[in-house]
A and B are shown apart, each in its own frame.
Chain A
Amino acid sequence: MARLARLSLTDDELHQYTSQLAGVLEHAADIEALDIEGVPPTAHPFPLVNVLRDDVVAASLDRAEVLGQAPDVDQDRFRIPRILGEAP
């Protein structure tokens, strides 16, 4: 799970988090008591539909400003360490 989230945890942290998360999940088990058969899920508090934008060009950012924030830059691109595999 930590690897999926791109985090490394010390053994202490791992131990602590595992028991804490278990506690939270245990508390969350109270939901089991609810009859939710057939209840539709709510992803948004309000069911808005078709919020659309016209296909009109707006100003982009200044490149110097964008790259000025980057930890490492080369040839006007973001420079990163080597990638070991193709995109999944």
Chain B
Amino acid sequence: MSAEARTTPATALAADVRAGRRSAVEVLEEHLARIATTEGDVHAFNLVTEAHARAQAAAVDGAVSEGRDPGPLAGVPVALKDLICTRGVPTTCSSRILEGWTPPYDATVVTRLAAAGAVFVGKTNMDEFAMGSSTEHSAFGPTRNPHDLSRVPGGSSGGSAAAVAAGYAPVSLGSDTGGSIRQPAALCGVVGAKPTYGLVSRYGLVAFASSLDQIGPFTTTVADAALVLDVIGGHDPRDSTSLPDTAREKAASRLGRGVEGLRVGVISELAGAQGIATDVAARVRHAADALAGAGAKVEEVSVTSVVYGLSAYYMIAPAEASSNLARYDGVRYGLRVPGEDITDMYIATRSAGFGPEVKRRIMLGTYALSAGYYDAYYGKAQKVRTLIIQDFEEAYRSYDVLLSPTSPTTAFELGAKTSDPLTMYLNDVCTIPSNLAGHPAVSVPFGTGDDGLPVGVQVLAPALGEPVMFQVAEVLEAAVAGAPGGAK
């Protein structure tokens, strides 16, 4: 299995379906057939919703035959990370505690995708409640990397990354709290974008860490990622943290312009230090060279506080999670394990329903918020967040975008990092700063490492800088495509 299994990009599929050259049903069946062939090995999905998808595809075809435009994603199969609420379709967060729960409502992104003609093929596997970097912390078993089944796909959105890499869908949605889209995208050799905080509504996204979570797309091309973002993005009155639409440019608005004259800063703190593998570091240098070759002004830049991002993140995210996950108490929905009294029931339910990584983070977060420790941990982490934002602001005075590795290494073996959480957490060192700052960042596949596995390069941009971010990412994509040997 390899990247050859990739599907036709969404942009092309939708164009064919809208023009009546291909039917949405035919497109869907092709993808379902691919799922049937290899999903048993990959386990990208918690649930494949064939019947639902067939009905949606038929409706898209019906619209086309009646002369109506089904929308910019007409007939495009989309896989949804299993923490995005879908009315009438179970949403588990890969946790026992939500087994059997069926949301009575759709997430805003689901409504918007459906209105654009997308066809939902299923709910993808993930680290439980998005806590993890390998998709091994799923109550339903791990997802495997389609490029090498002995390797992890990354996480927490590993199922969504694998689904696109394996050709199960040209588009999937993930969520990114500390790198959960970009890191698996890098490890699976697909494009993965985390938008500006507030660009995409979080309504219907089961919360991990509310001030960091963002939904974003996995795609096979940069143009597809921009297209999907333009469909799912935009103000939503149901999300108080959703940004107003004023002054927002379309994500796809600067595609095709090249990078002539753009200023690119390679973050020196993330380029070669902190356990970044030498083959990965080399790919980032190649990417920088490719951009310079395409006419960009490329320099190293220091963003000093990013190295503290990891520490700040591991105070803030578990703290918010400990509160967000309190509601899973066996009273209203999901799992209940009986108990003598209400407290016994709470403890029995939560102890049986949550996996070890979730419990670990709840403990950490409870500690970080507890009396006497708030100032030392959560309070301090919020100040570090301010420093990171200030340092980024400083860098963006001189550069249009920044460049770094996405993940310190290529995909690792299953089980390699599960015993030591800190080692696992270090996977996110390059991706976390964007979450803390609320800035957009995208991982673009840029050749392979020494082991022949995909390497991702991360393009970071300032708030609402998606257009320039994709503009640069597209040039990197072209550089790899134009020099398949040289890109290695």
Contacts and interface: CB of A to CB of B under 8 A. Distances in A.
Q: Do chains A and B touch in the complex (CB under 8 A)?
A: yes
Interface string B284-311: 0000000000000000000001011011
Contacts of A28: 311, 314-315, 377
Given A21-B364, A44-B211, A31 B343 contact: no
Given A13-B356, A34-B308, A70-B332, A80 B382 contact: no
A61 B104 contact: yes
A70 B347 contact: no
B312 A31 contact: yes
B336 A2 contact: no
B338 A81 contact: yes
Interface in B425-454: 425, 436-439
B104 A20 contact: no
A29 B341 CA distance: 40
24 contacts: A1-B366, A2-B363, A5-B366, A6-B346, A7-B362, A8-B348, A17-B359, A21-B367, A31-B308, A31-B311, A36-B380, A41-B379, A41-B382, A42-B383, A45-B197, A45-B436, A45-B438, A48-B240, A51-B240, A69-B332, A71-B331, A71-B334, A81-B344, A84-B342
B422 interface: yes
A48 B196 CA distance: 14
Interface string A23-57: 11001111100101001111111101001010000
A21 B359 CA distance: 11
A30 to B, nearest CB: 6
B6 interface: no
B315 A80 contact: no
Interface residues of B, number: 71
Nearest to B354: A7
The secondary-structure label for the interface of chain A is: loop
Contacts of A48: 198, 240-241, 243
Given A46-B463, A51-B240, A34 B387 contact: yes
Contacts of B198: 45-46, 48
Interface in B356-386: 356, 359-360, 362-364, 366-367, 370, 377, 379-386
Interface string A50-88: 010100000001100110011110000010111110000
Interface in B123-168: none
A86 to B, nearest CB: 12
B128 to A, nearest CB: 14
A82 B346 CA distance: 12
